[in-house]
Chains A and B, each alone.
Chain A
Amino acid sequence: MPCEKKPMRYGHSEGHTEVCFDESGKFIVTCGNDGDVRIWEGLDDDDPRFITVGEKAYSLSLRNGRLVTASSNNTVQLHTFPEGEPDGILTRFTTNATHVTFNSNGTRVAAGSSDFLVKVVQVGDSSDQRTFRGHEAPVLSVTFDPRDQLLASSSCDGSVVVWNIEEQNQVTRWNLLQKTNDVSNAKSLCRLAFQPHSGKLLAVPVEDKVHLYERDTWSHVTTLSDNLITQPVNVVSWSPCGKRLAAASVGGVIVIWDVSSKMCLERQKHEKGFTVCSVAWSPSGAELVYTDTEGCVGLLEGVCSLLSWQPSTVARDFDDLFDGDEDGQMDEGESPRRPQDDDDIITSTGRIKNRAAFLEDDNSLDTGSLKLGGEKFRDDDDDDGGSSIAPPPGPPVPLRPVYEGPMPTPPQRAFQPGSTPAHLTHRFMMWNSVGIVRGYNDEPENAIDVEFHDSAVHHGMHLSNALGHKMADISQEAVLLACPSTDELCSKLVCVHFSSWDTHKEWVVDLPRGEDARALCLGRSFVAVATSALLLRLFTIGGLQREVFSLSGNVVCVSAHGEQLCVVYHRGTGFDGDQALGVQLLSLSQKRRLILDQPLPLSPQSTLSWIGFTAEGTPCSVDSEGQVRPLLEDQGAQGQSRRHFNLISCLFCRCIPCKGSRFPPTLPRPAVAVLPFKMPLCQTSTEKGQMEEQFWRSVLLHNHFGFLSSNGYEIDEEAQSQSLKEQQELLMKMFALSCKLDREFRCVELAQMMTQNVVTLAIKYASRSGKMGLAQRLSEIALEKAQEEHQEEEEETTGRSEMSRYNSRQTEEVEEEDEEENEDREEETQPKKLDYLTVNVSPQVSSGGASPAQPRVTNILDNIPNRKSAPLTSSSIKTKKSPVLKPLAPKPKSKTQSTLLQMSSKTNTKRQESEERPEEPRTKEPNPNPAPPSPESTENRRPQTGFQLWLENHRKNILAESPNLDETDLIKDAMGRFRSLSAEERLSWTERAKGQSGDDPKKRKRPEEVEDKEGSKETNEETSAKKAKTVGVAEKLSAFAFN
C-alpha cells in the first residue's frame, strides 16, 4: 500500500526546523528559525498554538509532558507541554546548543553544542550534569541509547563517538564524516539514532548511506543505501517498532527501509527538493512527519501499513518514478555489493586490513548471537557467510574461546625494491643506479618507458605493455619484465637484452602454469626470478636456463649486484606487527655458493622497504622506519632514522625525498638526494660521540673491502687505504680527547684498537702530556701488537716461500731462527726503551730535584716541532703524490715497531758516540728520539735522509766551525744550513739519499752502524724499517700530531 504524501504547508520562517510528535500522536510539534515552537493538531490545523522560546530555536524534544528546546541564547530550556509554561533553564553552553534529545523515559536530556561539548542533564535536578569532552568541533547530534547506558554523538570533526554515560568515557569512536568547522558548513546534520527498545543497532548517516553498527562489538554490521539518495543523508529515524528506518537526505529524498531485509519500503521525494532536516514517526508508526530547511512541514500518511506490505507493489507503484528494471536490478544487485562495502569501511575506519580475518570471525560470532536475541533482527545473505555458521538456538555463548595472545602479522607481500606500488596508474617499476623503468597504465595506453641515467649505456626505450607487466628490473645489459598469470596466459618473463650483439634482442620465457613470478632481478649476466612455487629460477642473460633451487619461504624480494644475489624470504610468521624475514646472500660466479643465510633484522613493527647493494657492493636493507642496515656477516643493527624518504635508488644513501607522501609521483620527476649516513650511537651531539660514530661508520664501510677482495673482486685500494687512514686518525683524535679528560683506561682501550704504529704515536702523545703510566701501558700494548703482527707476517712469509721451501728445509729453519732471534732482540730492546722512558723522568726528578717532570715534557714539545717542521712540510707535499698503498700493507706495517726500536737503539749508539759530552745533554738527547720514529717511519724519512746524508757529510765541517754545539743544536744549525742550500742542491741530496736507500740501504747505513758496534742486528732492523716507509697512515697522523 503506498503512502500518501500530504501537501506541504508553511510552518516557520526559512531556516533549520525540527519536528516531533507528542506521545499520544495527537500533536505535531515543530520549532524553527523564528524562535517559536508550534503545536499542531494535525497538519490541517490552521491555528497552531505557539510558544516563543527565543530568537531562534535550534532543536527540540518532547517527552512526558515536557518540551526541551535549544535556543539561540545558548540555553537549553524546559517548557511544560502542552501548556507551554516555562519550566526553567536546564543548562547553558558558551554558544548555542545544536541538538537536544530526551532519553526514552524522559528523565534525562542530552544536548550537544557548538562549543564541542555534550552534556547530559537530569530533568528533575539540573545540577546533575555530566559533561562529555572529546569532540574537537561543534557537535552535530546526540542520541540516547534506549537502555540508558550509552550516548552517541556526532561532530563536525568527522567523528562519531559512543559514550558510556555512567563512566563518562568513550566506548568507541569512528571517524566517518567529512570534517568541517561549523554546523552551518556541515554537509549533513548526521542525526544518529539507536534502535528503539533494544538499542542493538546504531544508525549513522554517512555520506549517502546509512551505516548500522552493532552494540557492544561496535562492528559495522550493514549499510543501507538507495539509488535515489545521491546527496548526503541528513537524518535517520527509527520507527517506534524498531524495524524500519527512515532516512532523509539533503536532496530531499526520504527513504524507508526494512532493516532486517534491507528492502526499501518507501521512497519519497520532497516536492520542491529542499533539504529535509528533520523526520519523526508518529507513535503508531503509520505517519512520518518531516520538515525542510525552508520551514515547511510535510506528512507521509499510511507509511507501511504493516501487514499488507509487499515489496513488489512498491516497485510497481513507483514505476513512474523509477525504471522497473533498474529497480529490480538494484534489489538484486544489492546483496553482492554489500560485503565489498563492508570491506571498504573496515579499511576506511582505520582498522588494519590484515586483521580482517579476525574481524570476520567476530562478525560471524556476533551475528550469530544477534539472531538468537529476542530482537528478531535478521541478517541475511550479506554478512560474509555469517549466516552459514549461525549456531542453533540456545544461549548466546561464544563458539570459540577468544584468542588474546599476540596476533600473527600478515606476511609482507613480495615487491621489487625501488618501485612504487602497482596500483598507481603512473608508477616507477624500477629506479636503480642504472636507470628508470616507468609504467603507465592509462586507459588508452598501457606502456613502459625505460630511461637510462647514463645515456651512454643505451638510449631510452618505449615498450608497449600489452601483457600487463608488473615487475621490472634494469641493468647495464638488459631490461627484465614480468607479468603475473591471468586466466588464459601463464606468467611470462620478458628480457630485452639490449647489449646483445646479435639481432635478437628479446627473449620470452613462460613460467609453468600455476607459477607466478613474484620477484626478479638482473645481475651480471644472470637473471633471477623468484616464483610463487617457492623456486628461484636462474637464467643466463641470453635466456638459457641455469640452476633452479628452492627457497625456504615465500619470497619478499630479490636483488643482485655483480655476481652476488640477495634473496629475502619469510622465515615464519611474525607476531604483533613484526615480520619474520630471512636473507640469503649467494655468490653465483662459477658455482652457486651460499655466503650468508640469517634472519633479516628490522625495526619493530616495520616492513622491509628496500634491499640492495651499495656502490661498494655491501648488501643493505632499509625498513619502513627508514633504518638502513648493512648486512654483513658480523654486523649488528646500524643505520639512521630517515622518515619520509622513499629509498628508491641507493648506491649509498641516495634517496628520493617524498614531500608528504610515501611514494614519489612520476611527474615532475623527483630529484635524487644524497643523504648522510649516520649510525645510531648515543650522544652524537658530543665530540666523543661524533668521533665514535665516524669511526664505526668508517669501519663498517671498510669491512666489506675484505669480503670483496676475498671474493676476487677488484677493489679500490686507494679508497681502502683512505678509510684505514681515516679510522686511525679518528682513533688518535679520540685518544687525544680522552687523554685530555684524564681517562687513561679509555685511552688504553682505544690503543687496543689502533694499529701498531699509531700506538707509538699515542705513546708519544701520552708521554708528552705527562702521563707516563699511560705511556708505559701503551708500550706494552705496542709490544703485543708488534708480536702479533710479526707472527702474522711470519705466517705470510712462510706461506709465500712455498716455492723456496723445497730448496732446503734447513735454510728456512735458519731463517726462522733468525727471525725468532730478531724477535728476541726486539723484546730485549723494547724493555730497554721502556727503561728509557722511565729513566727520562727519574734522573730528572732526582738530579734536578726542583724541576718536576712537567717542564721537561714541554721541553720535548718545544724541541720536536723545531726539528720536524721542515721535513714535515716538504713531506706533506709529497704525500699527495705518494702512490697508492701497496696491497702488502700488513708486512711493512709490522715493521714499524722495529723502526721505533731501531731508533731507540740508535739513540743508544749516538749516546755512546757522544759519550764524552757532559751529563746534561745525555739526558736531554734521548727525549727527542722517541718523537721522531713514527713520522720518520714513513715517507718522512725520505727527505730527511736527504738531509741526513748531507748532515753526515757536513757534520764535521759544522763541528769544526762551532765545536761547542751539542747534538740538538748541531742538528738545528745543520738544518739552517741545509735550508740555505739552493733547491737544486737539496734535491740532488734527496735524490742521492733516495738512490742510496732504494738501492741498498745497507750500503749507507751499515758502515755507520758497524761503527756503532751494534752490527748486523741493526741492519736487519734497518732494512725492515725501510719497508715501513710505505705505510701511509702514520704520515697523516704525524701531520695531525704536529699541527
Chain B
Amino acid sequence: MDPSEVEFIAEKEVVQIIPNFSLDKIYLIGGDLGPFNPGLPVSVPVWLALNLKQRQKCSIVPPEWMDIDKLEEMRELERKEDAFTPVPSPYYMELTKLLLNHSSDNIPKADEIRTLVKDIWDTRIAKLRLSADSFINQQEAHAKLDNLTLMEINTIRAFLLDSLNCMYKLRSNLQPGSTKGQFSDY
C-alpha cells in the first residue's frame, strides 16, 4: 500500500469548515453535505475542505485534538508508556500533514503542531521498530500491537514482511541452532 493511498483514505475523515459562500445541501453517494451557510461551521470530508480551501471558499476549523496542549500531553504520555497509546485520530499524521500544508493560516501555531505531531510519530515509530526487533530476536510466532494507525502499519509492513520472508528462507536452509547468532545483530 502506498502512503498516498493511505492519505487518500484519510481524506474521508470529517472536518469542520467555515464556508464563505452559501449553497444548499449537496447530495453525494457518500452522504449529504451541507447546507453551507457563510460564517457557520459545517462538517465536510477533508477532500472537500481542502478543495474549497484551495479555492479560498472556506476556512478550516482545526480538529479538536490539533491543539498544542493536548498534543504535548499526548507526547509525554507516548514517551512515558511502553505500549502504544491511543491516538486522537486514526489518521492523525495524514490529517496533520494535509491540513497544515494547505491551511496553516487557519491553524494557530502550525509549526509547533507540526513538530509535536512529528515527535509523536517518531516516538511511535521507534517503539514499532523496537518491538519488531524484539519480535524477531525472540523469534516469536505472533505479536499483538494495539492502537497502531494505518499509516504506521503501512510504514513497516513492506519491510517487516520482506525481512521475515527472507529470514524464513534463510532459516529453512540453515541448521537449527545457528540462526540465533546470525541475526543477533540485526
Question: Chain B interface (Cβ within 8 Å of chain A)?
Answer: 16, 18, 20-22, 37-41, 56-57, 59, 61, 108
Residue of A nearest to B57 (CB): A455
Residue contact B41 to A671, C-beta cutoff 8 Å: yes
Q: Is A681 an interface residue (CB 8 A)?
A: no
Residue contact A674 to B40, C-beta cutoff 8 Å: yes
CB distance from B60 to the nearest CB of A (A): 10
Residue contact B41 to A649, C-beta cutoff 8 Å: no
Q: Is A452 an interface residue (CB 8 A)?
A: yes
Q: Known contacts A668-B108, A671-B61: does B21 contact A454 (CB below 8 Å)?
A: yes
Which residues of A are found within 8 Å of B56, using beta-carbon distances?
455
Residue contact B20 to A453, C-beta cutoff 8 Å: yes
Residue contact B20 to A452, C-beta cutoff 8 Å: yes
CB distance from A614 to the nearest CB of B (A): 13
Which residues of B are found within 8 Å of A671, using beta-carbon distances?
16, 18, 41, 61
10 contacts between A and B (CB under 8 A): A452-B38, A453-B39, A454-B22, A454-B38, A455-B21, A651-B37, A669-B59, A671-B61, A672-B18, A673-B41
Residue contact A453 to B41, C-beta cutoff 8 Å: no
Report how far A97 CA is from B8 CA in the complex, Å: 68
Residue contact A649 to B21, C-beta cutoff 8 Å: no
Q: A452-B38, A673-B41 are in contact. List 13 more A-B contacts (CB 8 A).
A: A433-B39, A435-B39, A452-B20, A455-B20, A455-B21, A455-B56, A456-B22, A457-B38, A649-B39, A651-B37, A671-B18, A671-B41, A672-B39
Report how far A668 CA is from B110 CA in the complex, Å: 12
CB distance from A133 to the nearest CB of B (A): 37
Residue of A nearest to B61 (CB): A671
Residue of B nearest to A667 (CB): B108
Picked from B21, B41, B57, B108, the residue with its CB within 8 Å of the CB of A674 is B41
Q: Is A135 an interface residue (CB 8 A)?
A: no
Residue contact B41 to A672, C-beta cutoff 8 Å: yes
Residue contact B39 to A454, C-beta cutoff 8 Å: yes
Q: Is A768 an interface residue (CB 8 A)?
A: no
1/0 per residue, CB under 8 A from B, across A423-454: the answer is 00000000001010000000000000000111
Pairs A-B, 7 closest by C-beta atoms? A453-B39, A454-B38, A453-B38, A668-B108, A455-B20, A671-B61, A454-B22
Which residues of A are found within 8 Å of B21, using beta-carbon distances?
454-456
Report how far A453 CA is from B39 CA in the complex, Å: 5
Residue contact B40 to A672, C-beta cutoff 8 Å: yes
Residue of A nearest to B20 (CB): A455
Report how far A456 CA is from B23 CA in the complex, Å: 11
Residue of B nearest to A615 (CB): B37
CB distance from A392 to the nearest CB of B (A): 65
Residue of A nearest to B39 (CB): A453
Q: Is A1026 an interface residue (CB 8 A)?
A: no
Classify the secondary structure of A's interface with B.
loop
Residue contact B40 to A654, C-beta cutoff 8 Å: yes
Report how far A669 CA is from B108 CA in the complex, Å: 9
Which residues of B are found within 8 Å of A669, using beta-carbon distances?
59
Report how far A452 CA is from B21 CA in the complex, Å: 10
CB distance from B43 to the nearest CB of A (A): 11
Residue contact B41 to A454, C-beta cutoff 8 Å: no
Report how far A384 CA is from B63 CA in the complex, Å: 55
Report how far A663 CA is from B22 CA in the complex, Å: 28
CB distance from B48 to the nearest CB of A (A): 17
Report how far A887 CA is from B81 CA in the complex, Å: 65
Which residues of A are found within 8 Å of B18, using beta-carbon distances?
453, 671-672
CB distance from B100 to the nearest CB of A (A): 15
1/0 per residue, CB under 8 A from B, across A639-676: the answer is 00000000001010010000000000000110111100
Report how far A456 CA is from B108 CA in the complex, Å: 26
CB distance from A439 to the nearest CB of B (A): 19
Report how far A129 CA is from B108 CA in the complex, Å: 58
CB distance from A777 to the nearest CB of B (A): 44
Report how far A669 CA is from B41 CA in the complex, Å: 13
1/0 per residue, CB under 8 A from B, across A154-177: the answer is 000000000000000000000000
Which residues of B are found within 8 Å of A453, using beta-carbon distances?
18, 20, 37-40
Report how far A455 CA is from B57 CA in the complex, Å: 8
Which residues of B are found within 8 Å of A651, using beta-carbon distances?
37, 40
Which residues of B are found within 8 Å of A673, using beta-carbon distances?
41
CB distance from B109 to the nearest CB of A (A): 9
Residue of B nearest to A455 (CB): B20
CB distance from B55 to the nearest CB of A (A): 11
Report how far A83 CA is from B59 CA in the complex, Å: 82
Report how far A718 CA is from B38 CA in the complex, Å: 22
Which residues of A are found within 8 Å of B20, using beta-carbon distances?
452-455
CB distance from A600 to the nearest CB of B (A): 27
Report how far A669 CA is from B103 CA in the complex, Å: 14
Of B18, B21, B40, most A-chain CB atoms within 10 Å: B40
Which residues of B are found within 8 Å of A674, using beta-carbon distances?
40-41
Residue of A nearest to B16 (CB): A671
CB distance from B135 to the nearest CB of A (A): 44
CB distance from B36 to the nearest CB of A (A): 10
Which residues of A are found within 8 Å of B59, using beta-carbon distances?
669
CB distance from B113 to the nearest CB of A (A): 12
CB distance from B126 to the nearest CB of A (A): 32
CB distance from A380 to the nearest CB of B (A): 53
Report how far A651 CA is from B57 CA in the complex, Å: 21
Of A454, A457, A651, A674, most B-chain CB atoms within 10 Å: A454
Which residues of B are found within 8 Å of A433, using beta-carbon distances?
39
Which residues of A are found within 8 Å of B22, using beta-carbon distances?
454, 456
Which residues of A are found within 8 Å of B38, using beta-carbon distances?
452-457
Residue of A nearest to B56 (CB): A455
Residue of B nearest to A654 (CB): B40
CB distance from B183 to the nearest CB of A (A): 52
Report how far A453 CA is from B20 CA in the complex, Å: 5
Report how far A452 CA is from B37 CA in the complex, Å: 12
CB distance from B9 to the nearest CB of A (A): 26
CB distance from B63 to the nearest CB of A (A): 11
CB distance from B136 to the nearest CB of A (A): 47
Residue of A nearest to B107 (CB): A668
Which residues of A are found within 8 Å of B40, using beta-carbon distances?
453, 651, 654, 672, 674
Which residues of A are found within 8 Å of B41, using beta-carbon distances?
671-674
Report how far A284 CA is from B108 CA in the complex, Å: 66
Of B18, B20, B21, B22, most A-chain CB atoms within 10 Å: B20
Report how far A649 CA is from B18 CA in the complex, Å: 14
Report how far A920 CA is from B11 CA in the complex, Å: 67
CB distance from A945 to the nearest CB of B (A): 32
CB distance from A660 to the nearest CB of B (A): 13
Report how far A339 CA is from B138 CA in the complex, Å: 80
Which residues of B are found within 8 Å of A435, using beta-carbon distances?
39
CB distance from B37 to the nearest CB of A (A): 8
Residue of B nearest to A673 (CB): B41
Report how far A668 CA is from B108 CA in the complex, Å: 6
Report how far A654 CA is from B41 CA in the complex, Å: 10
Report how far A654 CA is from B38 CA in the complex, Å: 12
Report how far A649 CA is from B57 CA in the complex, Å: 21
Report how far A456 CA is from B57 CA in the complex, Å: 10
Of B22, B39, B56, most A-chain CB atoms within 10 Å: B39
Report how far A900 CA is from B56 CA in the complex, Å: 58
Report how far A654 CA is from B37 CA in the complex, Å: 12
Which residues of B are found within 8 Å of A649, using beta-carbon distances?
39
